A and B are shown apart, each in its own frame.
Chain A
Amino acid sequence: MTTIAPHRRKRSLAPYALLIPTVIVLLLAMGYPLAWQLSTSLQKFGLAQQFGQPAEFVGLGNYIALATDPYLWTVVGRSLLFCLTAAALTMAVGTLLALLMRVLPAAVRVILQIALLLAWAMPVVAAMTVWNWLFDWRRGVVNWLLSAVGLPFEQHNWLQSPLSFYFVAVVIVVWMSVPFVAFSLFAGLTQVPDEVLEAAQMDGASPAQRFWRITVPIIRPVISIVLLLQVIWDLRVFTQIKLLQDAGSIASETNLLGTYIYQLGAGSSDFGTASAVSIFVLVLTVGISWFYIRSMLKEDAA
C-alpha cells in the first residue's frame, strides 16, 4: 500500500492537495457539528443557555435521564417497528415486481417500469402533498372510494389515531421505496443464467425451489445491500412523518426518532437531550451501515 512509484515521488503531495476542498467542507459542516453535539450531549443545555448562561457539565446525565425515560423507549420501539414493517413490505413487493418483470411481455414490462420510475422520481415533499390530498378527510379520493364500495369511511380522519396514521405512513414509504428495490433486483436477476434454471426445471425443481435454491443465492449480494439501505432509510424516516403530522395529528403520539429530535431541539430548545438522542441515532445507523460500507470498500479494491 505504501509503495509509491519512484517517478511519481515528486508528485506525492498532489493527491492530498486535491482532497483539501472536500476535507475542509466536511470538517466545517459535519465534523464541527458532530463535535459540538458530542460535548453538548454531556451538558445541561436548555433555554437558559440559549440566553447566555454557561452550560453545566453533567457527564452522562442526559443519557441516563433518557435511558430511564419510558417515552424514549416508546419512540425507539415505534421506530424499529415502523422500520421493520416498511422495509419488509418494500422488499417483498419489490422482489415480486422484479420477478414479474422477468416474465412479462416487453410492452407490459415497459408500462410497469414507466409507472415505477415516475413514482420514484417524485420529489418527496410534492409526493407528500399529493398523499395528503388523497387521504384528505373532507374530499380525499381514498375515503370516496372506500365509501363507494360500502365501507363506513365518509369523513374518516386517517391521521387522528396513531395506528391509522402509521398505516398511511407505511403505504407512502412503501410506494416511494419499491421502485428502487424492484429495479435493483431486476438488474440483479439478469445475472442468473437461464441455463441453470432450465437444468433445474428439467430435474424436476418446482418454481419455488428454483427461486429459493438458485435465484436467491446468486443475487444474495444485491438483496443484502438493498435490504440494508432500506433499513437505514426507514429508520431515519423524517420528512414523511413530519409532513403527515403537519396535516393534523398529535405529534407526541406519532413521533419517531427523527421527529422526536426535531421536537426536542427546535421545539423545546432542550439541546442537551436532543444531542444525546442524535448521538444514539448516529451510533445506531453507523452500526448498521458498517456492513454496507464494507461491501462498498470491496468494490473499491476491485
Chain B
Amino acid sequence: MSSAKQVSIRGRSRYSTSKIVFSIVALVVAAVWFFPVYWMINSSLLSNVVLSSTTPTFFPDLLHGGGSLDNFATVFQGGSFLPALGMSVLIALIVVVVCLLFAFLAAVAISRFRFRGRTSFVLAILFVQMLPAEGLFIAQYKLMASVDLLNTVIGISILYIASVVPFTIWMLRGFVAGIPAELEEAAMVDGLSRTQAFLRITFPLLAPGLVASGVYAFLQSWNEFTVALVVLPDQASQTLPLWLRGFIQSSASKAIDWGQVMAASTLVAIPVIVFFLLVQGRMTSGLVGGAVKG
C-alpha cells in the first residue's frame, strides 16, 4: 500500500517532463508500427488512378466519393480469389478439427497419467515443434509426390497437422493440468464413471483451452506459406497466401494495381486479426511458459 503511494507521488512530481517525452516517443512508435496496417486499408479504398499519382493520398476523401469498395468487388469477381479462399477454409477446418482431437487425447495422456516414456514423448514434441519447415520441405515434397498427394487438400493437411499438433498439445496440456484431478475423483466418489466424470466435469472447464488451441491451429494453417509453396505447385490448388504471392511476382515485371492487391490482403488479414486478438495472451504465455511462472 505505502509503496504504491510513493510510486504515484514520485510519478506526479516528474509528470511535466519525462512523462510527456515518453508519451510522445510512444505515440511516434505506435504510428510507425501501425502505419503499414493503415496503409493497406487506405490503399484498398483508393482507385488505381489515385494510386498512380506521384503524390500519395494519405486519407481517402470519403465525403467527396474519393474512396470506395470497388477494389473489393473486383477481387471477388476476379475468379481466382474464391477458389483460393475455399481451399484455405477447407484446409483450415480439417487442420483445426483433427488437431484438436489428436492434441486433446495426447494432452490428457501426458497430464493425467504417469507412464514409462512420458518424458521422452514430451521431449519429442518439443523437438518437433522447433524443427524448421525449411529443413524438411524438400523431403516432404518428395513424399507427397511419391504417393500422388501433391496439390491435394489431404496431402497438405497431413503435413500441417503434424507441424501444428505439437504446440497444440503443449497449450492444451497446461489447461488440462490446471483442472484439479480431485474434481473428477470427487465426482467418481459420487458414483460417476471415469469417462462420465471427465465428460461432465473436466470437459466443460476445458472449453476455453480448446478455443485458444483451435484458434492457434487455424492461424498457423491460414498463414502458412513455406510448405504450401512446394506441395501445392498448381495454380488451381493454391491457398490464399500463394494467391497473394502471385501479385508480388507480377509486380516485379510490371506496374500493378496496388489497390486491388491491398484489398485482397485486407480480406486475408481480417479474420486473422480478429482471431489473433482473442488468443494472443495464451499463445505468448505458452511460448515463454518456462520463464513466466505465475
Binding site for B on A (CB under 8 A): 1-4, 8, 11-12, 14-16, 18-19, 21-22, 25-26, 28-30, 32-34, 36-37, 40, 97, 100-101, 103-105, 108-109, 111-112, 114-134, 136, 138-139, 141, 144, 175, 178-180, 183-184, 187-188, 191, 194-195, 198, 221-222, 224-226, 229, 232, 235-236, 238-239, 242-243, 246-248, 257-258, 261-262, 264-266, 271, 274-275, 278-279, 281-282, 285-286, 289, 292-293, 295-300, 302
Among B108, B258, B288, B289, the residue within 8 A (CB) of A18 is: B108
Complex: how many Å from CA A239 to CA B140?
A: 17
Binding site for A on B (CB under 8 A): 3-4, 6-7, 18-19, 22-23, 25-27, 29-31, 33-34, 36-37, 39-40, 43, 51-52, 54-56, 101-103, 105-106, 108-110, 112-119, 121-128, 130-143, 158-159, 161-163, 165-166, 169-170, 173, 222-223, 225-226, 229-230, 240-241, 244-245, 247-249, 251-253, 255, 258, 261-262, 264-266, 268-269, 272-273, 276-277, 280, 284-285, 287-293
B138 near A37 with CB under 8 A, answer yes
Tell me the interface secondary structure of chain A in the complex: helix
- 21 CB contacts below 8 A, A to B, read A16-B109, A19-B105, A25-B102, A26-B124, A29-B163, A34-B136, A103-B19, A104-B22, A112-B27, A123-B241, A125-B268, A184-B292, A187-B285, A198-B3, A236-B134, A261-B134, A265-B230, A266-B229, A282-B136, A289-B130, A296-B290
What is the minimal beta-carbon distance from B260 to any residue of chain A, in angstroms?
11
Complex: how many Å from CA A15 to CA B113?
A: 6
Complex: how many Å from CA A125 to CA B238?
A: 14
B162 near A28 with CB under 8 A, answer yes
Question: Hey, which chain A residues are within 8 Å of B285, CB to CB?
Answer: 187
What is the minimal beta-carbon distance from B176 to any residue of chain A, in angstroms?
11
Chain A residue, CB-CB nearest to B14: A103
Q: A1-B114, A26-B128, A247-B248 are in contact. Are A122 and B36 (CB under 8 A)?
A: yes
Complex: how many Å from CA A175 to CA B35?
A: 11
Among A2, A19, A187, A235, the residue within 8 A (CB) of B116 is: A2
Complex: how many Å from CA A257 to CA B137?
A: 13
B22 near A36 with CB under 8 A, answer no
Question: Hey, which chain A residues are within 8 Å of B119, CB to CB?
Answer: 1, 297
Chain B residue, CB-CB nearest to A27: B162
Q: A34-B139, A130-B262 are in contact. Are A119 and B37 (CB under 8 A)?
A: yes
B37 near A239 with CB under 8 A, answer no
Q: Known A-B contacts: A126-B244, A130-B262, A222-B288. Give 15 more (CB < 8 A).
A: A21-B106, A37-B139, A115-B30, A115-B31, A118-B34, A121-B277, A125-B225, A132-B248, A184-B287, A198-B7, A222-B292, A242-B229, A274-B138, A286-B127, A297-B290
What is the minimal beta-carbon distance from B42 to any residue of chain A, in angstroms?
10
Chain B residue, CB-CB nearest to A21: B102
B223 near A184 with CB under 8 A, answer no
B141 near A266 with CB under 8 A, answer yes
Q: A109-B26, A133-B261 are in contact. Are A258 and B39 (CB under 8 A)?
A: no
Complex: how many Å from CA A139 to CA B39?
A: 13
Q: A122-B269, A129-B247, A266-B141 are in contact. Are A285 and B130 (CB under 8 A)?
A: yes
4 nearest interchain CB pairs? A29-B162, A265-B138, A33-B139, A248-B252
Complex: how many Å from CA A132 to CA B255?
A: 12
Complex: how many Å from CA A68 to CA B40?
A: 45
Complex: how many Å from CA A4 to CA B115?
A: 7
B229 near A246 with CB under 8 A, answer no
Question: Hey, which chain B residues are within 8 Å of A183, CB to CB?
Answer: 280, 284
Question: Hey, which chain A residues are within 8 Å of B288, CB to CB?
Answer: 184, 187, 222, 225-226, 229
B136 near A33 with CB under 8 A, answer yes
What is the minimal beta-carbon distance from B24 to any residue of chain A, in angstroms?
9
A25 near B161 with CB under 8 A, answer yes
A265 near B141 with CB under 8 A, answer yes
B40 near A130 with CB under 8 A, answer yes
A126 near B269 with CB under 8 A, answer yes
Q: A33-B143, A112-B26, A133-B261 are in contact. Are A293 and B130 (CB under 8 A)?
A: yes
Complex: how many Å from CA A232 to CA B40?
A: 29
